[in-house]
Structure 1
Amino acid sequence: MQAPCALRVEGLGVRYGALVALEGVAWDVRPGELLGIIGPNGAGKSSCYEAVTAMVRRQGRVFLGEEDVTAVPPHGLAGRGLKRAFQQNAFFEDLSVLDNMVAVLGARAHSGLAASVLAPRAAARRRGEAARFAADQLVRFQVPAIYHDRQPREIPYGVQRMLSIALAFGDGARVLMLDEPAAGLGGEDMARLVALLTSLKKEGVALVVIEHHMDLIMAVADRICVLDLGRQLALGPPSQIQHDERVLEAYLGKKQ
């Protein structure tokens, strides 16, 4: 028996005036599954992400588990376990790598003003526990301890990409959406990304990944959604997508 969907979208659409950026898109992803979203430039991939996370006005419905979250604002989605990393790295540049991680832990790290004043020892203990958790979380996300005291701009680009994913995940996520996590990566950095995605899947996290690196997405995705000109062209396992004539035509401009 299949696990229930972690995230499901129905009839997703986005319009910018007369421009139809996305229309009639429907897919789902289950715990421990990676859904890849691919398509040529301008296919509507980023609009799809913006629509799912309520960053743009959209048509359609979005379900997180069994809950209809169509009307929930972005910060409410994060609180329910739907989190995303953006295509461009985004850090608190004046903080260390470790402090960046602590900053996104919310209540796990921050006691609030009243608790800090009335119970300073408990607040300090919470901060210490949060720092240890943050350090462990960074290592888990392929950010070695040697970089934890540095500022993000001082660490290698490949490690920055891992840090951006760690910050999006925070202290946990039911669904993690990643926008081109492999951009600019190669060699060992790409291998570390594959290992991380595989590990998250094994832990039961549902992953939705936009990616242009076909070798990567074909290797790690369980299913792939193909968009073209704002419409859903195909949805299925990688073996099916690789031989779909409509997909080949969209990417190559001809049937093979």
Structure 2
Amino acid sequence: MSEPEDLTPDAELAEAEADPEATRIVDPAAVAADLADPEAVAEVVAPHRDIATGEGEKLLEVSGLSVEFGGLAALDDVTFDIKRGEILGLIGPNGAGKTTCFNAITGVYRPSAGTVRFDGAPLGRIKQHKITRLGIARTFQNVRLWGEMTALENVCVGTDARHKTSVFGGIFRTPRHYREEHDAVDRGMALLEFVGIAPRAAEKASNLPYGDQRRLEIARALATEPKLLCLDEPAAGFNPSEKTALMGLIQKIREDGYTVLLIEHDMRLVMGVTDRIVVLEFGRKIAEGTPSEIRDNPAVIAAYLGVPDDDTA
């Protein structure tokens, strides 16, 4: 999808004068009625960003990643990769370093050692918002929404990562500003339909049931048009039926062309949706493989069940 060229302030004003209709006020309720149609939703939700990495090739490469806090190693020489188009599970007991790994990949923490390459380029010390623009989006272990904003407004915030309106354009509400607002509303409603909570678009996020808040976080992350979607324990607090529905949503997200990195404690969910699994324990990688390989791995069984080390030697 091509983006409009940047306009100078004078050009933006000239465009506004030439097309007053282009600056009509956005009415969040006046969204395209056909967005409820599955094919229309799929068209709006599908990623449109150029990705240098080919299908099945390495999209993210983590090499020798270490993170220390006050001399304590939270991650110790962790290496793995994520291939474009797959769902990779990152699992381990509490305190294994899973969320620390997420935070190091997404720029929240600075690695003490090691490198992260994404879509062929090193991330280095890039700031968090630039990592988002490069194409990595995430949800959080604890729900983080703007509670006083509606569900639709929360998703529209995510779409802003791809908007090109200048400060000048925002102040003077130029045609580009209005086009991007309309696009945000249409795309936001499509994403809410996609995750199954479109009827709650006008409700405050703080008033949504917990499960719908989790789905809203996923919709907001998808609104940034990520190449890689990182989900940090998305099933936390879910009942069995909600977990089953979430499995279906994650699979649908992958089918729409997204690559997924998943942290999750629920082994049924992990084994049911992932293509490969990486296992951490005390900040180190102890296993990597397919779900069936991980299920039968003695080191993994020991990490979760406390089998004595002598039994796995």
Band the TM-score falls in, shorter-chain normalisation = over 0.9
Secondary structure at the aligned position of 1:21 is classed as strand
The separation in 1 between residues aligned to 2:63 and 2:207, in whole angstroms, is: 43
- The correspondence of residues 49-68 of structure 1 with structure 2, limited to 5 A, is 49-58=102-111, 59-68=113-122
Q: Find the structure with the greater CA-based Rg.
A: 2
Q: Which residue of 2 aligns with 1:147?
A: 200
| Preserved CA contact (<8 Å) 1:43 1:230 | yes
Q: Does 1:160 align with 2:216?
A: no
Q: CA shift at 1:207, angstroms?
A: 0.8
Q: What is the alpha-carbon distance in structure 2 between the residues aligned to residue 54 and residue 188 of structure 1? A: 34
Determine what percentage of the aligned residue pairs are the same residue.
34
- Using the TM superposition, give the Cα deviation of residue 73 of structure 1 relative to its aligned residue in structure 2, in angstroms: 2.1
Decide whether aligned partners of structure 1 residues 245 and 131 sit closer, same or farther in structure 2, where only a CA change above 3 A counts: same
User: Could you tell me whether the CA contact under 8 Å between 1:9 and 1:28 is conserved in 2?
Assistant: yes
2:88 paired with 1:88:
no
CA distance in 2, matches of 1:73, 1:116: 24
Deviation string for 1:141-194 (max 9, x for gaps)?
A: 222x22001001211111111001111222411001111000011233222211
Distance in 1 of aligned mates of 2:285 and 2:128? 24
**Which residue in the other structure is 2:294 paired with?**
241
SS of the aligned residue for 2:88 comes to strand
Amino acid at match of 1:38: I
Q: Secondary structure at the match of 1:23?
A: strand
Q: 1:117, CA displacement in angstroms?
A: 5.6
Partner residue, 1:126: 180
Amino acid at match of 1:165: I
- Structure 2 counterpart of 1:201, which letter? R
Call closer, same or farther: CA 1:241–1:154 in 2, change over 3 Å.
Answer: same
Q: CA deviation at 1:41?
A: 1.1
Looking at structure 2, the residues matched to 11 and 127 of structure 1 have their Cα atoms a distance apart, in angstroms, of 42
Give the unaligned 5+ runs of structure 1: none
Q: 1:232 aligns with which of 266, 275, 285?
A: 285
Give the structure-2-normalised TM-score.
0.76
RMSD value, Cα: 2.0
Q: 1:228 to 1:108 in 2, by over 3 A?
A: closer
Q: How many residues align?
A: 255
Q: 1:137 aligns with which of 154, 179, 191?
A: 191
| 2: CA distance, partners of 1:212 / 1:119 | 46
Which ranges in structure 2 are unaligned for 5 or more consecutive residues?
1-53
